[in-house]
Amino acid sequence: MSVDKLKRTVLGLIAVSLFLVSGAVLAEYPLNLTEGVTETSHRVYELHMIILYVVTVIGIVVFSVMTWSIFHHRKSKGAVAAQFHHSTTAEIIWTVIPILILIGMAIPATQVLIFMEKTGDAEMTLKVTGHQWKWQYDYLDEDITIVSALHADDRAAAQIDSGINPESIDNYLNNVDNPIVLPIDTKIRILTTASDVIHSWWVPDLGWKRDAIPGFINDNWTNIKKVGTYRGKCTELCGKDHGFMPIVVHAVTKEDYAVWIEEKKAEKAEAALGKDMTMAELMEKGATVYAANCAACHMAQGEGAAGLFPALAGSPIATGPAGDHISKVLDGKNLMPAFKGQLNDVDLAAVITYERNSWGNDAGDMVQPSDVKAAR
Amino acid sequence: MSDAAVHDDHHDHKPTGIGRWLFSTNHKDIGTMYLIFALTMFFVGGAMAMVIRAELFQPGLQFVNPQFFNSMTTVHALVMIFGALMPAGVGLANWMIPLMIGAPDMAMPRMNNMSFWLLPFSFTLLLSTFFMEGGAPAGGWTMYPPLVFQLGDGFPFLIFAVHLLGISSIMGAINIIATVFNMRAPGMTFMRLPLFVWTWIITAFLLIAAMPVLAGGVTMLLTDKFFGTAFFDAAGGGDPLLFQHVFWFFGHPEVYILVLPSFGIISQIIPTFARKPLFGYSSMVYATASIAFLSFFVWAHHMFAVGMPLAGELFFMYATMMIAVPTGVKIFNWTATMWKGSMTFETPMLFAIGVLFMFSIGGFSGVMMGITPVDFQYHDTYFIVAHFHYVIVPGIIFGIIGGIYYWLPKWTGHMYDETLGKWHFWLSTISVNVLFFPMHFIGLAGMPRRIPDYSTQFADWNAIISIGGIVFGLSQLIMVWVVIKCIRGGEKATDEVWEGAHGLEFTLPSPPPFHSFTTPPEVTEASAHS
């Protein structure tokens, strides 16, 4: 093959692959980091692009030299080997130039890092606690707690032989039962911690992730600039359902945020009254709470997982005295977390009642929010 | 053929039967056993990778439950790192170092036997956990507490498997150091050692420094679980992050333990097929030593997201970026070795060039992730999966495979099937890029690692990746066929094997006698330096 013909072939191949790639970009082939919606995420994105360009240029130069050598210094083209094996000048050049490039990258990187670590002057604080496998959000200034787990529709689809096409669910695996709401244009301090194992809280549009470590608190901050819904994931392996504990943040205006806070406070006050509920109410609420909090381990039909998680269907706890059942759920045991800090009296009463009267369990009794309150 | 080699032939009686292998103290036989073991584990770990890629072929759960999926990713890594890559490196060291320095065998042949035979026991412990209550390890190969404590009956098996591997590696390392320091042929000064030997000495020191740290870390896990200590439990005054610091103090040097022998191999291969001496021999040695030294000061770049003080994040960022300098020197030296050479492209050379290109890609993404603020986005996504697989598969495994093709005629006395070798290279190279390159994209776009199911926007890339994975896995069977075919027969290999080959191993007959260099050869400036 002549050099010209080779060049034409290579150029042709490049053109074809560029065409294919450009077509692909428009379809479902995501390629790059998000620019995000905070100043941090913008600065991180810019830094990412700078470094990407720098390494791409270095790559092109180095690979070109290698490729040139491969095509021209080959024995079949009659190349005779030179016998040089040392050049101090060359060695100094290719040590110094990379050092200069690296210093050039380190300067903006240092600036962005210092900017990201300035956690002071926050206007509000959100504490994020990772549990296996859901997120708990405490609005420390408002005394409101939200527990946020994978949405029941997503969970139903994410089972072997579920028969549900994931494509039929919008934002598959990125939906939660209780999204959190945050105000825009507000510097929010975000504390991350965990109750059981290490998790990591990541919303790409905010521009960072940070581990949530049991026994320790990390502080971070964000200031969202745009109203919208931003989705993220747990990014530290945290056991069986690591892939199934998404994050959904609704960023709203400060006014809408104030309205939402009032709603949540009202709900909380309602739950604290401890009003008795009917069996139907308890069972309906219990099914929802069960799907979000219990089904990950004890499975949808209470069948558990042999050797790992006990079955609830027919279990001595769920069919025995209600008092034992309540205390087990409140305080946890081994891998089972203590739910008293995560769920309110209404939710707990509902889910315990549900467990005692489902999948063939027929205790027949009702656990009322007042019973849970008394047992705390 | 040298006089010494002819002389050896008269004493070339070898033990027979199973005892030849069980009680072997011969560096060649032990090297062979290491390589066979590594190849077996390569396919065991590869089978697990196939399960992972099958599950990820499309969104939704099709084949395995999430717990078993986590076991697959965890044990895939442990088997590949400790079962395939490290034993392959030690196997090549066993076979080649005595031949390259003109020594009759390793310095401590019985310890050599024990280093090898610990491995099958260790992996029996590890793989038996699949049949236990609670299943195989599923908390990641990094064994982070507290998650690792949720492992069932398999927990102590995991810890003791790691202990045995550590003992095996340390004994192997001591043996290599003792051999090179004491058993070089007359005239074989340190600065005349072939680069493969140099990289292995440095690797051996890394092993001795790093493996005991891992052993200490996993022992603390054991006492936390069974003896009431609280090294890693905040409730008892401990810190889960302590384990991560201890682990990565081992883990980062471990990366270089894996990669340096591969660097050594391609430093042998490229000069041979460029028919030109290695460019910058001494700077190669110093660059390797610098990489090894720096590798002890960068461990926390694996854990930028844990929330370190700013000063710590800056220190580890700068230290990490510095590693790019000696690594760059090596890449440039290899390129300069090819420059104005007279190259031919037999299979070992193809794999070496593959390393040059694709290890560089892993290096570029490595520099990107060394930048702390952007790593807050990249960390624990498929971007890192792409990065370390580029380093390990086309960086390390291609180097090892290149070494196997390079020395296979020496070991067996037959040339391998060049056509099949080229097929192996091209299929592997194309599929490995289809397999790992798109992982950069889905990682940047937000797909976390270690998940059994994913959001639908990642579906198309994952399907492509899985296809690449299956083709890559199947392509490796070609290598098995080539090796078997080469052992059974083929064109007779000359002593020199390759036209441009230099070094003491190529002064011996192919295959070398069972006992070689019983009389040490003389090494001169002219005969040294491949």
pLDDT tens-place string over residues B225-266: 999 999 999 999 999 999 999 999 999 999 999 999 999 999
Chain B hits for A44, Cβ within 8 Å: 373-374, 376-377
Which residues lie below 8 Å from residue A153, measured CB to CB, with a gap of 6+?
A169, A175
Residue type, A180: I
| pLDDT at residue B338 tops 60 | yes
Indicate yes or no: CB of B377 within 8 angstroms of CB of A48.
yes
Best of A71, A113, A189 to mutate (most B CBs within 10 Å, chain B): A113
**Which tens digits make up the pLDDT trace of A67-77?**
999 999 999 88
Chain A hits for B452, Cβ within 8 Å: 243
> pLDDT value at position A5?
57
Chain B hits for A335, Cβ within 8 Å: 150
Best of A21, A25, A33, A107 to mutate (most B CBs within 10 Å, chain B): A33
Question: Considering only residues 92 to 111 of chain B, which have any Cβ-Cβ distance to chain A shorter than 8 Å?
Answer: none
Chain A hits for B372, Cβ within 8 Å: 109, 113
Catalogue the active-site residues of B: 76, 105, 141, 168-169, 252, 254, 256, 267, 301-302, 327, 330, 449
Backbone angles phi, psi at B206, to 5 degrees: -60, -45
Indicate yes or no: CB of B379 within 8 angstroms of CB of A235.
yes
**Which tens digits make up the pLDDT trace of B285-327?**
999 999 999 999 999 999 999 999 999 999 999 999 999 999 9
Look-up: residue for tokens 């990379």?
A: A98
* CB-based contact, B461 to chain A, within 8 Å: yes
The answer to whether residues B157 and B226 touch, using CB atoms and an 8 Å cutoff, is no
Indicate yes or no: CB of A79 within 8 angstroms of CB of B381.
no
CA dihedral for B262, B264, B267, B273, sign (positive or negative): negative
Backbone angles phi, psi at B222, to 5 degrees: -60, -45
Residue B86 — very low, low, confident or very high, per pLDDT cuts 50/70/90?
A: very high
| pLDDT at residue B8 tops 50 | no
* CB-based contact, B311 to chain A, within 8 Å: no
Chain A hits for B280, Cβ within 8 Å: 85-87, 91
Residue B6 — very low, low, confident or very high, per pLDDT cuts 50/70/90?
A: very low
The answer to whether residues A333 and A297 touch, using CB atoms and an 8 Å cutoff, is no
Chain B residue closest in CA terms to A98 = B325
Q: Please give the ipTM for the structure prediction.
A: 0.91
Give the separation between CA B290 and CA A76, rounded to whole angstroms: 38
* Mean pLDDT across chain B: 94
> pLDDT value at position A27?
54
> pLDDT value at position A292?
81
Indicate yes or no: CB of A216 within 8 angstroms of CB of B342.
no
CA dihedral for B275, B277, B278, B280, sign (positive or negative): negative
> pLDDT value at position B3?
46
Chain A residue closest in CA terms to B237 = A215
Q: How far is A179 from chain B (nearest CA, A)?
A: 18
User: Which residue from B97, B127, B125, B123 is spatially nearest to B112, judged by alpha carbons?
Assistant: B97
* Tokens representing residue A193 in the block: 């911690």
SS3 B374: helix
The answer to whether residues B96 and B88 touch, using CB atoms and an 8 Å cutoff, is no
The answer to whether residues A348 and A372 touch, using CB atoms and an 8 Å cutoff, is yes
The helix or strand, by DSSP H or E, that contains position B360, with its residue range, turns out to be helix B347-370
* CB-based contact, B450 to chain A, within 8 Å: yes
Q: Which fold has domain A273-375?
A: Cytochrome Bc1 Complex; Chain D, domain 2 (1.10.760)
| pLDDT at residue B109 tops 80 | yes
User: Which residue from B355, B257, B375 is spatially nearest to A211, judged by alpha carbons?
Assistant: B375
Which residues lie below 8 Å from residue B320, measured CB to CB, with a gap of 6+?
B298, B301, B370
Indicate yes or no: CB of B280 within 8 angstroms of CB of A91.
yes
CATH dotted code for A124-263: 2.60.40.420
Q: In the sheet where A134-139 sits, what is the strand order?
A: A144-148, A134-139, A124-131, A188-194, A218-222
Q: How far is A195 from chain B (nearest CA, A)?
A: 10
User: Which residue from B343, B277, B265 is spatially nearest to A86, judged by alpha carbons?
Assistant: B277
> pLDDT value at position A220?
95
* CB-based contact, B442 to chain A, within 8 Å: yes
Which segments of chain A belong to CATH 1.10.760.10? 273-375
Chain A residue closest in CA terms to B321 = A102
CB-nearest partner of A69 from B277, B280, B335: B335
Best of A13, A38, A61, A73 to mutate (most B CBs within 10 Å, chain B): A73
CB-nearest partner of A112 from B328, B331, B373: B373
Q: How far is B377 from chain A (nearest CA, A)?
A: 5
Q: How far is A171 from chain B (nearest CA, A)?
A: 7
Number of A–B residue contacts, CB under 8 Å: 304
Best of B247, B456, B461 to mutate (most A CBs within 10 Å, chain A): B456
Best of B304, B343, B351, B441 to mutate (most A CBs within 10 Å, chain A): B343
Q: Using a CB cutoff of 8 Å and minimum separation of 24, what contacts does A105-111 make?
A: A105/A50, A105/A51, A105/A54, A105/B321, A105/B367, A105/B371, A106/B317, A106/B318, A106/B321, A108/A47, A108/A50, A109/A47, A109/B317, A109/B371, A109/B372, A109/B373, A109/B374, A110/B314, A110/B317
**Which tens digits make up the pLDDT trace of B137-157?**
999 999 999 999 999 999 999
| pLDDT at residue B190 tops 50 | yes
What is the DSSP secondary structure assignment for residue B393, as one 8-state letter?
A: I
Give the separation between CA B116 and CA B83, rounded to whole angstroms: 11
Which residues lie below 8 Å from residue A300, measured CB to CB, with a gap of 6+?
A155, A156, A159, A291
CB-nearest partner of B277 from A83, A236, A238: A83
Tell me the whole-structure pTM to 2 decimals: 0.91
| pLDDT at residue B4 tops 70 | no
Q: How far is B305 from chain A (nearest CA, A)?
A: 5
Q: What top-level class would CATH report for the domain A30-74+87-118?
A: mainly alpha
Give the separation between CA B357 and CA B331, rounded to whole angstroms: 9
Which segments of chain A belong to CATH 1.10.287? 30-74+87-118
Chain A residue closest in CA terms to B339 = A69
CB-nearest partner of A51 from B331, B374, B444: B374
Which segments of chain A belong to CATH 2.60.40.420? 124-263
> pLDDT value at position A276?
82
> pLDDT value at position B307?
92
Indicate yes or no: CB of A236 within 8 angstroms of CB of B325.
no
* Mean pLDDT across chain A: 88
Question: Considering only residues 491 to 530 of chain B, which have any Cβ-Cβ distance to chain A shorter than 8 Å?
Answer: 529
> pLDDT value at position A99?
95
Indicate yes or no: CB of A73 within 8 angstroms of CB of B338.
yes
> pLDDT value at position A8?
59
Q: How far is B84 from chain A (nearest CA, A)?
A: 24
Q: Kindly give the parts of chain A with pLDDT less than 50.
A: 1, 26
* CB-based contact, B4 to chain A, within 8 Å: no
A85: alpha, beta or left? (left if phi > 0; alpha if psi -120 to 50): alpha
Question: Considering only residues 210 to 249 of chain B, which have any Cβ-Cβ distance to chain A shorter than 8 Å?
Answer: 233-235, 239-241
Chain B residue closest in CA terms to A51 = B368
Domains of chain B: residue spans and CATH = 3-10+27-507 (1.20.210.10)
**Which tens digits make up the pLDDT trace of B16-55?**
888 899 999 999 999 999 999 999 999 999 999 999 999 9
Indicate yes or no: CB of A43 within 8 angstroms of CB of B278.
no
Indicate yes or no: CB of A235 within 8 angstroms of CB of B276.
no
Indicate yes or no: CB of A211 within 8 angstroms of CB of B279.
no
CB-nearest partner of A75 from B62, B138, B343: B343
Indicate yes or no: CB of A79 within 8 angstroms of CB of B274.
no
